[in-house]
Amino acid sequence: MRSGKLAIRTASGRDLSRRILFLLLGVALVFVPMKALAQQDSSDKAASLLKDSIKLFDEGDTDKAIEAARESIKADPSNADAYDRLGYMLLKKDQADEAMGAFDSALKINPRMRTSKTGKGLVLLKKGDLKGAEAILKEALELNPYPSMTHYALGLVYEKMGDYEKSVEQFKDGIKKYKSGKR
C-alpha cells in the first residue's frame, strides 16, 4: 500500500511538475515575446527621440534637443551614441561638467568611442586643462579614422598653449585629411 500511495504521490508530483513546466512554457511563450516587443518598442522610441533631438539641434533649439536626448537615454540607457550626442549638446550650452558626465557614460558603454574622447578633450580645453586635453585628443586621433575634427580640437589646444607651429600642423592635417576624404 505504502508503495502504492507513493506511486500515486509520485505520479501526482510528476503531473504537477509537468503542469508547472507547461505553465512556465506558456508564460514564457507569452511574456518573452512581450518583453522583446517592449524592448523593441523602447529601442524604437529611443531612436525616434534621438532623431528628433538631432533635428532640433540642427534647427538651433539646443534646449529642446537636450530634453529629447535625455528622454531617448531614459528609453534606452544602453545607447552610447545618445550619451555622446547629449555631451556635445551640453558642451554647446557651456555645461562642461554635465557634458563630461555624458561623455564618460558613453565611454563606459563603449570605451573605444573616439568621438566621446574628442568631446572630453574639448571639455578639458574649455576647463583649461591643456595637458589633459592634449593627451586624450591624441588617444582619439589614434582611434579615429576620420580625424579632421580631432585635428581641429588638438590645433585649438596648441593655439591655447601658444605653440603655433604645432597648431598650424594640426589644422593643416585636418584640411589635408578632409580633402583626401578622411573626415
Partner 1 sequence: MRYIGGSKKYVRLRMAVLTIVLCFSFAFSATAQALLNIGGTAPDFSVRDLEGKDVSLSQFTGKKAVVILFWSTWSAKSTKAFKRMQDFYEKYKDRGIQVVGINADNETISREDVENIKKFVKETGITFPVLTDKALKTFRAYEIIALPSTVIVTEGKISYELPGFPLVGTEDMFDYLLGLAGETPKKKMEVRYKPQHDSIADASLARKFMAKEKYDMAYPLLQKAIERDPKYMLAYIELAKLYDLEGKDREAEETFKKALASDAESVPVMSEFGYFLTKKGKIKEAVEILDKAAKMNSYTPSHYYLAYALSKNGQAKEALSAFDAALALNPYEPMIYILRGEHYEMNKMHKEASADYRKALELTLKIK
- Residues of this chain that interact with partner 1 (CB under 8 A) are 54, 57-58, 60, 81, 84-85, 88-89, 91-92, 110, 112-116, 118-119, 122, 143, 145-146, 148-149, 151-152, 155-156, 159, 164-165, 167-168, 171-172, 174-175, 178-179, 183
Compute the least distance from the CB of residue 15 to partner 1, in Å. 54
Compute the least distance from the CB of residue 20 to partner 1, in Å. 46
Residue type, 145: P
In terms of CB distance, is 76 or 81 closer to partner 1? Answer: 81
Residue type, 11: A
User: How far apart are the C-alpha atoms of 136 and 121, rounded to whole Å?
Assistant: 6
Contact 86, 69 (CB under 8 A): yes
Compute the least distance from the CB of residue 136 to partner 1, in Å. 15
Compute the least distance from the CB of residue 137 to partner 1, in Å. 13
Compute the least distance from the CB of residue 89 to partner 1, in Å. 8
In terms of CB distance, is 4 or 145 closer to partner 1? Answer: 145
User: How far apart are the C-alpha atoms of 12 and 173, rounded to whole Å?
Assistant: 78
In terms of CB distance, is 21 or 124 closer to partner 1? Answer: 124
User: How far apart are the C-alpha atoms of 101 and 145, rounded to whole Å?
Assistant: 25
Nearest Cα residue to 82 out of 61, 64, 105:
105
User: In Å, what is the CA distance from 119 to each residue of 33, 106, 113, 183?
Assistant: 38, 11, 10, 16
In terms of CB distance, is 18 or 176 closer to partner 1? Answer: 176
DSSP state of 129: -
